[in-house]
Structure 1
Amino acid sequence: MELKATRYQVEDRIATITLARPHRLNAWTGRMHTEYRWLLAQAEADPEVRVVVVTGEGRGFCAGADAAALDGHVAKGGYDPGTTSELATPGFGVHPSFDRDFAFHFGLTKPVIAALNGPAAGVGLVLACFCDLRFAAAGVKLTTSHGRLHLPAEYGLSWVLPRLIGAGRALDLLLSSRVVRAEEALEMGLVNRVWPGAELLPRTYEYAHELAHHISPRSLAETRRQVWVDQHRDVGSAVEEARRLLEEMMTEEGFREGVQALREKRPPGF
């Protein structure tokens, strides 16, 4: 696929997807949505990739829907996603509820880290929330923004946000569409780390490197899948599934390597 709204690179077992419309603060379009899903599918299928980092080019992460696209919705009298039916389906087939826009992240086998280098608004915040982890540059602004546009909470944000920060805090952000900065977002658990802007990507890659080189890829895949699928299970079923996976994975070479590395006091070679 020819990339017009994104960039992609793989290095050190880490795939980086960069939203690349810096002149519009990487505002979301149908083209960007199409490319993003296609790139995630490439990363998911690439055995060299262990972790995915998503970030924005320039001053923004993603400022939400492009204003021109919003004008188009008004002109057409309704919603037009701007995509074709030929969208890639990364993460599909794991759980029926994951086979939807943005929810497909939960069906992936590789962790996705959002590196919030600039503002994340509307669908930009949605994208960040469906990633596994969110690291932010100091002072970055975040907002749901939909209330100021006469819209509902978008793309399941009403489901995922309360699970990240609790219902009370989620309702505060969803009802008010107020802007929060990275430091407040850290206090409420919306982001996992905050660093000075110049340190954001280096620190993000340090973290991603640790996952990519020292954590079993099967453990990464199964653990994140347990977290998201267990949202739809009762606790007993979650315990039973964990027991089944434990018995299965302890027969594998990865477990033997992990134990041997622990004995030898060295990093495991997964």
Structure 2
Amino acid sequence: MSTTEVKEFTNVNLKIEDRVGIVYIANPPANALNSDTINGLSDCIDYLDRKVSGVKVIIITGEGRFFVPGADIKEFKTAIGDVEIGEVMAKKAQALFNKIEQLEKPVIAVINGACLGGGMELAMSCHMRLAAEDAVMGQPELNLGLIPGFGGTQRLPRLTNTAKALELILTSEFIKGKEAENIGLVNRSYPYKELMKEAIKLANKIANEKSAISIAATLKAVNTGIKKDLYEGLELEARLFGEMFGTKDMEEGVLAFVEKRKANFIDQ
């Protein structure tokens, strides 16, 4: 039986359908990433991580026709001349995005519209990204005399390559979802009307067909291992692989394969 839960946080709305949590950034008129929105998103992620054990996949998107077109420039204006406040702003956003990246539940950014500056940095902290073909993406901070400070200078080169990242940041040029797919910045792009349907399909495939234990172990192996050298990463992978042998879901998966039936994982 399908179950639905709706919950509100500051500038963020959450809808849980079965095992998928859909997080909507909702800060009209354009979903700017201000301090309140960062706090609301952080609270929402904590809720999904610590208090809702049944959610196995998280989607983050924007309400309306915007994803997140950037940080709230009005807040920047109040901090002109204050180096310390500028650094605090960056570290606060970075802490949230690091939290998202380190979750043991996969997070899919569904880029339904303008995804710029801090919005782009939010999307890049997610484990996967789907975009509308006409969604505009970019890091325009240099137009403000700034640099990307919420993770853009670090995550963009890792997702594309150093030269392409520097081109996008130094020129402040925008690209659309289809080009973002071509350079590996997003997994896939779709016509706008098909985007959420495809995102739900992807989320359900993971949530309903895989074990939460092996999902979490995979994310740990990739996210931790990529920061190590190859042989340290392989050591971590072997340890996590071994741990799976002690789970009921591994036993069920192997038996289901041998018996030529679909596995019924219980996340244990």
TM-score, normalised with respect to structure 1: 0.88
Shift of 1:145: 1.0
The answer on 1:5 being equivalent to 2:18 is: no
* Contact 2:10–2:41 (CA under 8 A) maintained in structure 1: no
- Cα distance in 2 for partners of 1:111, 1:15 equals 11
User: How has the CA–CA distance of structure 1 residues 239 and 80 changed in structure 2, closer, same or farther, with 3 Å as cutoff?
Assistant: closer
Query: Amino acid of the residue matched to residue 170 of structure 2?
Result: L
Counterpart in the other structure of 1:31: 36
Q: Return the TM-score normalized by structure 2.
A: 0.89
Is residue 118 from structure 1 mapped to residue 109 from structure 2 by the alignment?
no
Deviation string 1:131-155 (CA, Å, 9 cap, x unpaired) is: 0001011211001111111112222
Match of 1:224 among 214, 219, 226: 219
How far the C-alpha of 1:2 sits from its partner, in A, is 6.2
Q: What residue identity is the alignment partner of 1:261?
A: A
Indicate which of 30, 43, 49 corresponds to 2:48.
43
Give the unaligned 5+ runs of structure 1.
Answer: 88-98
- Aligned in 2, Cα 1:254/1:77: closer, same or farther, shift over 3 Å? closer
- Tell me the equivalent position of 1:57: 63
Please give the alpha-carbon distance, in whole angstroms, between the structure 2 residues aligned to 1:80 and 1:201: 35
Could you tell which deviates more after superposition, 44-53 or 241-250? 241-250
1:29–1:82 CA contact under 8 A, matched in 2:
no
Letter in 1 for 2:63: E
Equivalents in 2 of 1:228, 1:136: separation in Å?
A: 22
Match of 2:25 in 1: 19
**Alignment correspondent of 1:135:** 130
Specify whether residues 115 and 40 from structure 1 end up closer, same or farther in structure 2 by C-alpha distance, changes over 3 A only.
same
Alpha-carbon separation, structure 1, partners of 2:85 and 2:27:
22
How far did residue 79 of structure 1 move? 3.6
Q: CA deviation at 1:54?
A: 0.2
Residue 200 of structure 1 corresponds to 195
Q: Which residue pairs with 2:4 in the alignment?
A: none
1:184 pairs with one of 161, 179, 183: 179
SS at match of 1:100: helix
Report the RMSD for the aligned CA atoms in angstroms: 2.1
Preserved CA contact (<8 Å) 2:66 2:112: yes
Residue type of the partner of 1:161?
A: L
Partner of 1:93: none
Is structure 2 residue 143 aligned with structure 1 residue 148? Answer: yes
Q: How far is the alpha carbon of 1:4 from its aligned partner? A: 3.4
SS in 1 for 2:71: coil
> What percentage of residue pairs aligned between the two structures are identical?
31
**2:77 aligned to 56, 60, 71, which one?**
71
- Structure 1 CA distance, aligned partners of 2:213 and 2:232? 20
Please give the secondary structure, in 1, of the residue aligned with 2:95.
coil
Q: Is the 8 A contact 1:30 1:82 kept in 2?
A: no
Q: Which residue of 2 aligns with 1:258?
A: 253
**CA–CA distance in 2 between the matches of 1:53 and 1:39?**
12
* Residue identity matched to 2:39: T
**1:125–1:143 Cα contact (<8 Å) kept:** yes
Secondary structure, aligned partner of 2:67: coil
Out of 100, 103, 106, the position equivalent to 1:108 is 103
Local SS of the residue matching 2:179 = helix
| CA distance in 1 between partners of 2:102 and 2:83 (Å) | 34
**Alpha-carbon separation, structure 1, partners of 2:71 and 2:131:** 20
Aligned partner of 1:92 in structure 2 is none
The Cα of 1:60 is off from its aligned counterpart by 0.3
Residues of 2 paired with 1:143 and 1:268: CA distance?
A: 42
Cα deviations across residues 240-270 of structure 1 (Å, max 9, x unaligned)? 1111122221121110111122233333222
| Structure 2 unaligned regions, length at least 5 | 1-6
- What do the CA deviations read for 1:26-49 (whole angstroms, capped 9, x no partner)? 011101000101110111121110
